[in-house]
Chain A
Amino acid sequence: MRKVRLGLAQISSRLGNVRENAKQHAAVIKKANAEGVDFTCFPELSLPGYLLKDLAYEVVDECKAALNALARQTGEGQRVMCGFVKQDSLGLIQNSAAIMGDGKLIGTISKFFLPTYGLFEELRYFVPANPKTDLVAFESKSCKFGVIVCEDAWHPEPVQALARLGAEIVFCLASSPARGISNSEHAGALPIESQWMALLRAHALMNNVFIAFVNRVGPEDDEFFWGGSTLVSPAGEIQAKAKKDEVDCVTADVDLDEVKRARRFSSFKDYRAEFHEVLRDL
């Protein structure tokens, strides 16, 4: 049995206020240290907030400074993921996740699929990550793990690739806004929540991985992020769920051997590149 403790840090960031948001992160990391949480994940763009518009350019330096300070607070063996705006080359900014641990910044990964419709305008600001150069599975003392950002979960390839790179857990940092609240046809879950749950369970089942979805909660301008962060097992079972519409940080203990067992009793190993060759030409 390989037991690890996962933390889903469903926080409400203040748009454009990196300093205040970093304090929230620091408080969660401190608590995670005290409670022996191995992996702590925050939502997409958790340091600067999501609907940044032109602020996306202006939060870069503050994000960098905050990340360095937060990384120093991470414990030995601990892994912490949070969202930030990254700039490696002047004028090229990315919607990214930082992976911190052992008191330092371990790495980053950026979003591959940038939604640009309705309220989403990410391609206006951000440069997408390149799968050929940027896709990476990170390591911890207990396992390999992957990190994706929100829209990357609406496509099959990122989770599939990370699982085949050896990831046993995939963390999905998300900022999913509520939609269809007034719709009477959906008396229980919001349509967007049902869709996310279907996606997460499908990824977990098809790739035999734990999926930890960590969604932002709270308002940003006219939008409202619904939270509902969820941990799904390789068997597609929901193992932990944070509250909807409220700040909530939940932890769950999982047995990583579930991944091993699932991959020995499924068609995980099968991949047919021919399908992507066909897709490329369509």
Chain B
Amino acid sequence: MIQGLEEIVPPELEVNTTRVTAYLARRLRLYIGEHAGRRRAIVGLSGGVDSAVVAHLSTKAVGPENTHLYLLPSSSTPHDDIVDAKAVVEMLGIPEENCREVTVDKLTKELASSIGKAQDRLIVANIKARVRMILLHGFAGSLSGLVVGTGDKSEITIGYFTKFGDGGADLFPIGDLYKSQVRQVAAEVGLPKRVYSKPPSPALWEDQSAESELGIDYPTLDRILYRRFDLWWDEESIAADLRIRLSKVERILEQVRKTQHKRYPPEVFKLSFRSHGSDWRYPREWG
């Protein structure tokens, strides 16, 4: 592992980057091309580690010429994130015509005002994430592409995303990699150090920090989730092993339970004998 990564990648979560990236790029290519019958990967690039890794995988899957990256900043986007996003674009060799920057402030403000909540930070943040989703799907539709989501396993598991916002993608290629693992992959495929070493943030409001908001650092969060769901440990054993308060573990796992609805399609109340839900047992890939 690259020196310095030990602090952000717990040893038990270390991945085989060569194998993981080859596998994910293959899956992405097959999904976009053979399953969906599309040509292009549409990625919203934030300047953070998740979208940088997804952009990298997309270039490996469909080539830089079929990878379209969109910078969708707002007034709360740190200037450094825009600089970092542009560095990723350059590093990946994305053609100039495949990149576009669209500021989302105006659309966000209009929508927030129209529901009378322009001062509500959380509502504005969610609108912002959904504006980005709408734009990305619009670009995907116009380019015969798929919106390649950037959610990682940590965020998906604790529901740290906006439903129908950044959660509204066609697929999540890094959705089975914890944040720590995404950072390791980013480092080992040669993405800029600033991208994988800076504190993660959705940047939906100024100075937002994911770890402050969650009340836990990502390596610890990932170690809790890994022990609970990959290894099936109980809460007491996790707290003892990680030498942290039980209440901290309980709080995280409560967040997992409370956000379960975000990981499922909307509920359909059953009336017939066979409804869309537990009875609708057809594979996603159908013929």
Q: Is B287 an interface residue (CB 8 A)?
A: yes
* Residues in B neighbouring A224, C-beta threshold 8 A: 23, 27
Bound Cα distance from A218 to B242, whole angstroms: 39
In the complex, A184 has a CB within 8 A of chain B: yes
- Is A52 in contact with B20, judged by CB distance below 8 angstroms? no
Pair count A-B, CB < 8 A: 59
Q: How many residues of A contact B (CB 8 A)?
A: 25
Main secondary structure on chain A at its contact with chain B?
Answer: loop
Whether, in the assembled complex, A181 has its beta carbon less than 8 Å from a beta carbon of chain B, the answer is yes
Question: Beta-carbon contacts of B173-184 to A below 8 Å, as 1s and 0s?
Answer: 000110001000
Among A10-18, A83-91, A160-168, A254-262, the stretch in contact with B: A10-18
Give A178 to B26 CA distance when docked, in angstroms: 13
User: Closest approach, in angstroms, between the C-beta of B85 and any C-beta of chain A?
Assistant: 26
Q: Point out the residue from B14, B20, B281, B287 that lies within 8 Å of A53, measured CB to CB.
A: B281
CB-based contact A182/B285 at 8 Å? no
A183 at interface, CB cutoff 8 A? yes
Is there a chain A Cβ closer than 8 Å to B16's Cβ? yes
Q: Once the chains bind, are B30 and A182 in contact (CB under 8 Å)?
A: no
Partner of A187, one of B16, B181, B283: B16
Chain B 264-284 per-residue mask, 1 if CB under 8 angstroms from chain A, else 0: 000000000000000001111
Which residue in chain B gives the minimum CB-CB distance to A181? Answer: B23
Asked whether B27 lies within 8 Å of A15 as measured between CB atoms, the reply is no
Given the complex, which residues of A lie within 8 Å of B281, measured CB to CB? 53-54
Which of B14, B176, B283 interacts with A221 by CB under 8 Å? Answer: B283
Instruction: Report the separation of the CA atoms of residues A52 and B15 in the bound assembly, to the nearest whole angstrom.
Output: 31
Cβ of B23 and Cβ of A15 under 8 Å apart?
no
Min CB gap B151→A, angstroms:
14
Contact A55 B286 (CB under 8 A): yes
Q: Kindly identify which residue among B20, B26, B286 contacts A245, using a CB–CB cutoff of 8 Å.
A: B26
In the complex, the answer to whether B16 meets A55 with C-beta atoms within 8 Å is no
| Cα–Cα distance between A222 and B284 once the two chains are bound (Å) | 9
Per the bound structure, the CA–CA distance linking A14 and B284 in Å amounts to 12
Contact in complex: A16, B23 (CB < 8 Å):
no
Is the CB–CB distance between B282 and A54 below 8 Å? Answer: yes
Q: Say yes or no for A60: interface residue by CB 8 A criterion.
A: no
State the CA gap A126–B176 with chains docked (Å): 30
Closest residue on chain A to residue B286 by CB atoms: A16
A192 at the interface (CB under 8 A from B): no
With contacts A55-B282, A181-B20 taken as known, whether A16 is within 8 angstroms of B287 at the C-beta atoms is yes
Identity of the chain B residue whose Cβ is nearest the Cβ of A124 in the assembled complex: B281
- For residue A18, give the distance in angstroms from its CB to the closest CB of chain B: 9
Contact A15 B283 (CB under 8 A): yes
Whole-angstrom distance between the alpha carbons of A14 and B177 in the complex?
27
**Count the B residues whose beta carbon is within 8 Å of the partner chain — how many?**
21
A221-B27 in contact given A182-B20, A183-B16, A184-B14 (Cβ < 8 Å):
no
A63: min CB distance to chain B, Å = 14
* Complex CA distance for A20 and B282, rounded to whole angstroms: 19
B177 touching A53, Cβ below 8 Å:
no
| Residues of chain A contacted by B285 (CB below 8 angstroms) | 14-16, 219-221
A3 at the interface (CB under 8 A from B): no
Q: Is B283 in contact with A52, judged by CB distance below 8 angstroms?
A: yes
Q: Is A186 an interface residue (CB 8 A)?
A: yes
Q: Which residues of chain A in 187-236 are interfacial with respect to chain B, using CB atoms and an 8 Å cutoff? A: 187, 218-222, 224
In the complex, A270 Cα to B16 Cα: how many Å?
A: 45
Q: Are A221 and B284 in contact (CB under 8 A)?
A: yes
Q: Decide if A14 touches B23 in the complex (CB within 8 Å).
A: no
Question: In the complex, A55 Cα to B19 Cα: how many Å?
Answer: 33
In the complex, A69 has a CB within 8 A of chain B: no
Q: Is B261 engaged at the interface, CB distance under 8 Å to the other chain?
A: no
Residue of B with least CB distance to A125: B281
Chain B positions within 8 Å of A16 at CB level? 283, 285-287
- Chain B residues whose C-beta falls within 8 Å of the C-beta of A186 in the assembled complex: 16
Q: Interface readout for A23-57 with B: 1 if CB under 8 Å, 0 if not?
A: 00000000000000000000000000101111100
B31 within 8 A of A: yes
Kindly state whether residue B35 has any CB partner on chain A within 8 Å.
yes
Enumerate chain A residues within 8 angstroms of B35, measured Cβ to Cβ. Answer: 219
Residues of B within 8 A of A (CB): 14-16, 19-20, 23, 26-27, 30-31, 35, 176-177, 181, 281-287
Not counting A53-B281, A182-B20, A221-B283, a sample of 14 additional A-B residue pairs whose C-beta atoms are within 8 angstroms of each other reads A15-B283, A15-B286, A16-B283, A17-B287, A53-B282, A178-B23, A181-B16, A181-B19, A182-B19, A183-B15, A219-B35, A219-B285, A220-B283, A221-B285
